[in-house]
Amino acid sequence: MAMQVGNSGEENSVMSNINTTPLVDVMLVLLIIFLITIPVINKTVKVELPKAVNIPTQTKPENITVAVDKEGNIYWNDRRMPNKEDLLANIKASAVIKPQPEVHIRADKDAKFEAVGRVLYAIQRGGIVKVGFLTEPDRGLGRSPQ
């Protein structure tokens, strides 16, 4: 095996080929780093996440709207409920209707969670299966979170 150690007499010749060995070395090192770190990053508990689609609520005549204002007052389709027993009686009467109506809860943003929880508990006790929360869409007005 012979090796040429000089330029064979041409001192001022320009080298026209690119040495790609350092580039390949760097790329192989990066590839090895990614192959080692990606399984470490993806090491999480395997769960099946639900598929969510934002569908606008279709208001049907049989839907029931339960509203909770910031004082904790409860309204059944715009009619104020004087106590929890009347609310439960309305829920039980609606639960036996076929097909069962949906209950949409509209809670004031300043309402206490306790009042909304009481409404949810009454709906559960009454036997209503379909419950949803009505919210305002985020308009992205540049407000900072409080």
Query: For residues 106 and 103, what is the distance between their CA atoms, to the nearest angstrom?
Result: 10
Residue 31 tokens read as 């590839």
Residue 11 tokens read as 């001192």
Judge whether 36 lies within some domain: no
Judge whether 119 lies within some domain: yes
Q: Are 67 and 75 in contact (CB under 8 A)?
A: yes
Helix 84-95 / helix 113-126 crossing angle, nearest 10 deg: 40
Give the domain CATH number at 71: 3.30.420.270
* pLDDT reading at 30 higher than 90: yes
Domain that holds residue 82: 64-133
> Which of 105-121 are b and which e, b meaning 16 or more Cβ less than 10 Å from the residue's Cβ?
bebeeebeeebbebbbe
Return phi, psi of residue 102, to 5°: -85, 145
Judge whether 112 lies within some domain: yes
Higher-pLDDT residue of 139, 83: 83
> Per the structure, how many domains does the chain have?
1
Q: What is the pLDDT of residue 50?
A: 58
CA angle 24, 30, 33 (to 5 degrees): 140
Judge whether 79 lies within some domain: yes
Q: What is the pLDDT of residue 27?
A: 93
Judge whether 73 lies within some domain: yes
Query: For residues 69 and 71, what is the distance between their CA atoms, to the nearest angstrom?
Result: 5
For the stretch 32-49, pLDDT in tens is 988 888 776 665 556 565
Judge whether 111 lies within some domain: yes
Judge whether 114 lies within some domain: yes
Residue 98 tokens read as 């076929």
Query: For residues 15 and 63, what is the distance between their CA atoms, to the nearest angstrom?
Result: 81
Return phi, psi of residue 116, to 5°: -70, -35
* pLDDT reading at 3 higher than 90: no
* pLDDT reading at 29 higher than 90: yes
Judge whether 24 lies within some domain: no
Q: What is the pLDDT of residue 1?
A: 47
pLDDT band at 6 (very low <50, low <70, confident <90, very high): low
Q: What is the mean pLDDT of the chain?
A: 79
pTM of the model: 0.55
